């Protein structure tokens, strides 16, 4: 049964004064690979996309565009494109104890169908659909979606995570598989650098987006306000996971990619966008990353429009690729 939408997040932290610490996640399973049930329903939750949720996300991502703060081409304020990404990623904590999770997000994929509106009640649903073992680690696949109060699809999600591990021991081992088109992050000397894709052509390179996620931003993004403790918002927990300091959550990095692509494509990204990324190496809090991409193809659509395909990537302060991915959306029309 769907809960009444009474709060902006998966849990309502206002209930804490009436609960003992051990009750906060009572009844939830230990997040171990051995405890998985495939398929497994992770529940349905409704929440409101209020002013605070949009502004809080704007703080964590440094994403204060006027469409989110004032008005948009869709009529009224909307939420950022990846605003609900972490809500969907965290749906497993309806069943598993969030503060016992010491895992790694390895892949994130989202389809953007419609923007979410200010003060709209959204319904989130999710389930584990597959699990497998590789390199002595257990991986689990989640599929989830968010729908608006009128039943329209807002975003769809598919993610892969190592459910329980020592992040410090596996961090940096990530790689793309042979089935994926390799993303090198290399830019040909002849490439044209562009801020937007209004007049796109193959070979265009996006003007880089440079972001430094602070610990404060990472902690707020990673549910500090819901009293959840993890390797992104707590130094002691990060050290227990073999890390020297907290790392930026994959979903937070994914939002930075979505931010750059929304600026490049404009309104069409909210209704035709697709983004899939693989996390290759951890990003520490306070570590600058540079996000860019290159147009690899422009294809015709049945309606007479065009869709652009891109390779995208992020590099850390040492120049190492930390994330690679692929994206597409319809090109804006003049």
Give the residue-averaged pLDDT of 141-146.
98
Lowest mean pLDDT among 96-100, 205-209, 306-310: 96-100
225-274 residue pLDDT tens: 999 999 999 999 999 888 999 999 999 999 999 999 999 999 999 999 99
The hierarchical CATH code for the domain 13-330 is: 3.10.129.10
Please state the rounded mean pLDDT for residues 186-211: 95
Report whether pLDDT(125) > 60: yes
Query: 3-class DSSP state for residue 194?
Result: strand
The span from the first CA to the last CA of the chain, in angstroms, equals: 46
User: Given pLDDT bands bounded at 50, 70 and 90, which one contains residue 68?
Assistant: very high
Window from 75-79, 124-128, 136-140, 249-253 with minimum mean pLDDT: 136-140
Q: Does the pLDDT of residue 168 top 70, yes or no?
A: no
| Contact assessment for residue 314 and residue 290, using Cβ atoms and an 8 Å cutoff | yes
Computed over every residue of the chain, the mean pLDDT equals: 91
Distance between CA 113 and CA 94 in Å, rounded? 25
Of the listed ranges 99-113, 154-168, 278-292, the least confidently predicted one is 154-168
C-alpha pair distances (Å), 139 with each of 102, 130, 131, 134, 324: 13, 8, 6, 7, 19
pLDDT value, residue 3: 47
pLDDT tens digits along 287-306: 999 999 999 999 999 888 99
pTM: 0.92
What value does the mean pLDDT take over residues 87-114? Answer: 90
Residue 2 has pLDDT above 50, yes or no: no
In this predicted structure, what is the pLDDT of residue 169? 55
pLDDT score, position 174: 53
Predicted pLDDT at 178: 44
For residue 1, name the pLDDT band (cuts at 50, 70, 90). Answer: very low
What is the structure's pLDDT at 31? 83
296 closest CA partner among 280, 316, 313: 313
For the chain, where are the E strands, in sequence order?
40-49, 104-112, 120-134, 137-147, 153-162, 193-194, 205-206, 209-212, 274-279, 288-300, 306-315, 321-330
Nearest CA to 227 among 20, 6, 54, 13?
Answer: 13
pLDDT on residue 163: 80
Give the CB-side neighbour count of residue 237, counting CA atoms within 13 A.
Answer: 19
Model confidence band, residue 16 (pLDDT cutoffs 50, 70, 90): confident
Domain boundaries, the chain: 13-330
**CA contacts within 13 A on the Cβ side of 148:** 16
pLDDT mean over 144-157: 98
pLDDT at 170: 56
């Amino acid at each position: 049964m769907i809960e009444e939408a009474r709060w902006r997040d998966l849990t309502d932290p206002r209930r804490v004064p009436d609960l003992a610490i051990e009750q906060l996640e009572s009844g939830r399973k230990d997040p171990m690979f051995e405890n998985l049930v495939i398929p497994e329903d992770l529940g349905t939750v409704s929440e409101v996309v209020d002013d605070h949720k949009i502004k809080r996300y704007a703080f964590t991502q440094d994403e204060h565009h006027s469409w989110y703060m004032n008005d948009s081409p869709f009529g009224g304020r909307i939420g950022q494109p990846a605003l609900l990404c972490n809500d969907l990623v965290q749906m497993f904590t309806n069943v598993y104890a969030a503060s016992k999770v010491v895992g790694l997000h390895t892949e994130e994929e989202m389809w953007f169908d419609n923007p979410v509106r200010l003060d709209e009640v959204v319904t989130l649903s999710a389930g584990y659909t597959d699990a497998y073992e590789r390199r002595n680690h257990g991986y689990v696949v989640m599929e989830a979606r968010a729908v608006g109060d009128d039943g329209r699809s807002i975003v769809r999600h598919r993610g892969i995570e190592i459910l329980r591990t020592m992040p410090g021991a596996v961090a940096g081992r990530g790689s793309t598989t042979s089935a994926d088109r390799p993303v090198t992050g290399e830019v040909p000397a002849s490439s044209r650098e562009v801020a937007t894709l209004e007049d796109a052509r193959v070979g265009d390179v996006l003007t880089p987006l440079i972001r430094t996620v602070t610990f404060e931003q990472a902690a707020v993004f990673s549910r500090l306000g819901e009293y959840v403790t993890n390797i992104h918002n707590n130094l002691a927990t990060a050290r227990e996971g073999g890390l020297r300091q907290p790392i930026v959550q994959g979903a937070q990095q994914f939002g930075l990619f979505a931010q750059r692509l929304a600026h490049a494509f404009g309104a069409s990204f909210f209704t035709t966008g697709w983004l899939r990324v693989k996390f290759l190496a951890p990003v520490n809090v306070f570590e600058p990353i540079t996000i860019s991409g290159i147009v690899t193809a422009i294809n015709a659509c049945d309606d007479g429009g065009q869709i652009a395909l891109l390779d995208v990537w992020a590099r850390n302060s040492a120049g190492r690729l930390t994330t690679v991915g692929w994206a597409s959306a319809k090109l804006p029309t003049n």
